[in-house]
Amino acid sequence: MDLLVLPGDGIGPDISAATVEVVTAAMARAGCGTVNFSYADIGFVSLKAHGTTFTDEVFAASRDADGVILGPVSHNDYPPSDKGGLNPSGQLRRRLDLYANIRPARIRPGFTPRCGIPFDLVVVRENTEGFYADRTMFVGTGEVMPTPDLAMAFRKVTRQGSLRIAESAFKLALQRRRKVTAVHKANVLRVSDGLFLECVRQVSAQYPTVEYEEKLIDAMAALLIRDASVFDVIVTTNMFGDILSDEASELSGSLGLAASLNAGAEHGVAQAQHGSAPDIAGKDLANPASLIGSAAMLLAWLGERRSDPTLERAAALIEAALDRVIAVPEHRTRDLGGKLGTKAFTAKVIEALAA
């Protein structure tokens, strides 16, 4: 199996190296076949060397790999796209058609729930449409400025995109507690969110054993804080999913623990939810748990697609090891109130794989 590692910017190289160590150890423990890691530069390193943050060669390597481990990038600090400042994450999502962004959030052992009630939910976020300007137009951007005093943004919602993200949510719910909550703002965005809801309802009718409900986005933001435990699988459009998943991750402990998988029909990319934190890059301070957990999701996804129980076992071993380490306060990284650096935390996770 060939995995491509794109370390990225800031702490990306630090947590990518940690993730490779853990994945290698877990796959050996699970009896998986050989995994070959290859590496390619993106972000500022690529910009300096090639004049762009994301080359066509890196895209081709991503397309040809069995899976990609993507480190965080500092895209807010890149130059304009016409000067080479492409967002590697957005490029991969759009060009590989990674339409599903799967973001779990749960209370890990040893953590006191911030709102008092343990929960375990997954946000299934549409990943290729919505308001995000780099994913709405075939040519150009989804934002325009007709005059210096007027800015406009276009929102893209398609029937195909809505049906397939709904299908992903209901299939996932069958593996969990069989409940799907669709989040929308159709009372105001009557046409775009109206189409989204129409599609989710259509898919819901095909899954009679899955409970289905709908919530307005503003109410949902409040309900997560009140009691997130009543939710199982949340399906929504791109921007709403981005916001809700960050909220849920903070409620569950920290964005430093927030894993995510970008998945399409043919490709999967593991990506931490958090940013590149350049102020602590190279200082052995970064928490690698989010990217390690994301890589576990990638292994599970590959295992299911290939009917390979060893890959699924490797993913389960990583998740269990993270739980064991994080449950002990003194074994956590500093952002979680512990004392360990990136390397020491990684060593603890690898040690816990054998427990």
Give yes or no for a contact between 260 and 125, defined as CB atoms under 8 angstroms apart.
Answer: no
* Distance from C-alpha of 74 to C-alpha of 10, rounded to nearest angstrom: 7
- Check residue 335 and give its pLDDT: 92
Instruction: Examine the residue annotation and report whether 132 is marked as an active-site residue of this protein.
Output: yes
This prediction's pTM: 0.94
- Check residue 135 and give its pLDDT: 76
Instruction: Examine the residue annotation and report whether 246 is marked as an active-site residue of this protein.
Output: yes
pLDDT above 80 for 88: yes
* Distance from C-alpha of 5 to C-alpha of 40, rounded to nearest angstrom: 7
Among 246, 308, 323, 335, which one carries the catalytic annotation? 246
Instruction: Examine the residue annotation and report whether 242 is marked as an active-site residue of this protein.
Output: yes
Over residues 29-54, mean pLDDT: 96
Among 218, 227, 284, 339, which one carries the catalytic annotation? 218
Q: Find the length of the chain.
A: 355
Percent of the chain scoring above 70 in pLDDT: 100
**Interval 129-182: pLDDT, tens:** 998 877 788 777 888 999 999 999 999 999 999 999 999 999 999 999 999 999
Strand 150-153 relative to strand 143-147, pairing: antiparallel
- Check residue 132 and give its pLDDT: 83
> DSSP state, 277?
-
> DSSP state, 327?
T
Among 39, 120, 179, 185, which one carries the catalytic annotation? 185
- Check residue 116 and give its pLDDT: 85
User: DSSP 3-state helix, strand, coil percentages of the chain (rounded to 5)?
Assistant: 50, 20, 35
- Check residue 141 and give its pLDDT: 83
- Check residue 355 and give its pLDDT: 77
Confidence of residue 115 (pLDDT cuts 50, 70, 90): confident
Among 9, 14, 193, 242, which one carries the catalytic annotation? 242
- Check residue 354 and give its pLDDT: 87
- Check residue 33 and give its pLDDT: 84
Give yes or no for a contact between 24 and 54, defined as CB atoms under 8 angstroms apart.
Answer: no
Over residues 171-199, mean pLDDT: 97
Confidence of residue 194 (pLDDT cuts 50, 70, 90): very high
User: What domains can you pick out in the chain, each with its CATH number?
Assistant: 1-100+266-355 (3.40.718.10), 112-252 (3.40.718.10)
- Check residue 137 and give its pLDDT: 80
Computed over every residue of the chain, the mean pLDDT equals 95
Give yes or no for a contact between 298 and 270, defined as CB atoms under 8 angstroms apart.
Answer: yes
The runs of H, that is alpha helices, within 146-216 are 159-174, 192-204
* Distance from C-alpha of 55 to C-alpha of 40, rounded to nearest angstrom: 10
**Interval 210-255: pLDDT, tens:** 999 999 999 999 999 999 999 999 999 999 999 999 999 999 988 8
Among 78, 132, 207, 212, which one carries the catalytic annotation? 132
